[in-house]
Structure 1
């Protein structure tokens, strides 16, 4: 298998190969014995262990079965599937404009029933007004040097966000108070955005929690992430969007969301924080 052009993807593949090698060693068997138990050639075992050949799901199941480590197969299979796209470069996604980036998650949004969203930097896309979205996406387009299709991208985001009004789906948001204070747009646009946030909090299928600046933290502020049902998590960085599907990874982010949720205030206390941010715009 040739080296993947993305060093991160190649590292993920090598990490998977290393985990399989450790499982074999922990079982106390040689590559030859593993091959015999799996019913394939010794060279295949070697190629998999050295990240020369990507294993199939069936290969991973057979490997774990041969090493009496069946419980590790689900995580390894998920790692194998995501190694090719675990880190999707923003530049590649955005080179044809921001509209396609908004539309790329449309099917995922329609399929998901429970959304859990933690944000520490901006108003979540789900909750953005057209004005706020336009200001934010314009800033991103300028920074990235992508085609200027902000108007189309905003329209696509608003269409995508229609899932919020579908009572079948449930949304739980945890936001840092800083999200209410960062000035990414004009005072008028920010006021409208904060007013919209207050309105969204009245929806029966939406729960919004805010972590105050004054909160005694047991968990530190983290980069933005979204959990889709219990099967997938997206974690954003400046240069990449990580798609995480391994059960252990999703569980880790679920645990982080639960801890962060415990530090958030809701109801009247949350509305008071938003009112304070509104007052500061004057």
Structure 2
């Protein structure tokens, strides 16, 4: 969980504690009035649990300050926008998430991406994307709109051919060998990667197995125009726009990119991964 998120949750908890004290309630008394376990009140006040908007409204009403509900909800929305849980994002399926990302890509002229587990969406084939979406639909038990999501992702790839944009993509070699799809699908995906080498809008780097790494190849992330970083984790995406966070991820990206090979050397790595599949 990001430090910014946790600090904001702690600050909200402090505000809740102030309102409880102003209302003359102990933690146990407030819990009894709300019909909650006392531990929930404690966790909310210490920033160990995230309140819902309904929780905040009920809290404000019970302590006799219903007018503060709007303030509390505004605080919650502010840090919810930075941490976007998959459960909440995928409530209507994968396509709306893809549409939101496409809008962000439309705004961006320079993108830097680090991928350590899957091929970045901008360079995926439709078959590869279909297997990725299907896997996450099963994992997260979200609405099964796989084909709509694939079409939305493929439409975003039109940005690769617009002049004035640059996509700097760095991928770890194990990503090119991970059989999260049938070998034939992976073979076509590797052929697709070979085909984008030399495209004037794309700089594709591959970090080989044998490369010396100055940093661990941790979570995938995308940097949009040095103004926004999107980091992907199992439970959520983090959308980070604080300058110090963006600067940190830029340093991470530059370090990992420095270990990559490009051009004909990148093509050689892709070719050896392709041969390892044993497909025609």
The reply to whether TM is greater than 0.5 is yes
Q: Gaps (5+ residues) in structure 1?
A: 1-5, 19-49, 52-78
Per the TM alignment, residue 83 of structure 1 is displaced from its structure 2 partner at its CA by: 2.2
CA distance in 1, matches of 2:268, 2:79: 44
Q: For residues 15 and 262 of structure 1, do their structure 2 counterparts lie closer, same or farther at Cα, with a shift above 3 Å needed?
A: farther
Point out 4+ residue stretches in structure 1 off by more than 2 angstroms: 6-12, 14-18, 79-84
Q: Report whether the alignment pairs 1:265 with 2:250.
A: no
Q: Report whether the alignment pairs 1:12 with 2:10.
A: no
Give the SS at the match of 2:130.
Answer: helix
CA distance in 2, matches of 1:108, 1:13: 24
What do residues 212-241 of structure 1 show as CA deviations (whole Å, max 9, x unaligned)? Answer: 111111121110000000100001100010
Per the TM alignment, residue 106 of structure 1 is displaced from its structure 2 partner at its CA by: 2.1
Q: Report whether the alignment pairs 1:241 with 2:237.
A: yes
1:18-33 to 2 correspondence within 5 Å? none
CA distance in 2, matches of 1:233, 1:245: 6
Alpha-carbon contact 1:9-1:87 (below 8 Å) kept: no
What do residues 61-97 of structure 1 show as CA deviations (whole Å, max 9, x unaligned)? Answer: xxxxxxxxxxxxxxxxxx9995231111101111211
What do residues 190-221 of structure 1 show as CA deviations (whole Å, max 9, x unaligned)? Answer: 11110010111120110011111111111211
Q: Report whether the alignment pairs 1:141 with 2:137.
A: yes
CA distance in 2, matches of 1:270, 1:102: 28
Q: For residues 9 and 189 of structure 1, do their structure 2 counterparts lie closer, same or farther at Cα, with a shift above 3 Å needed?
A: same
2:221 corresponds to which of 219, 225, 235: 225
Alpha-carbon contact 1:82-1:243 (below 8 Å) kept: no
Q: Report whether the alignment pairs 1:211 with 2:207.
A: yes
Q: For residues 80 and 250 of structure 1, do their structure 2 counterparts lie closer, same or farther at Cα, with a shift above 3 Å needed?
A: farther
1:164-179 to 2 correspondence within 5 Å? 164-179=160-175
Q: Gaps (5+ residues) in structure 2?
A: 14-45, 48-74
Give the SS at the match of 1:104.
Answer: helix
**TM (normalized to structure 2)?**
0.73
Cα RMSD (Å) of the superposition? 2.6
Number of residue-to-residue matches in the alignment: 219
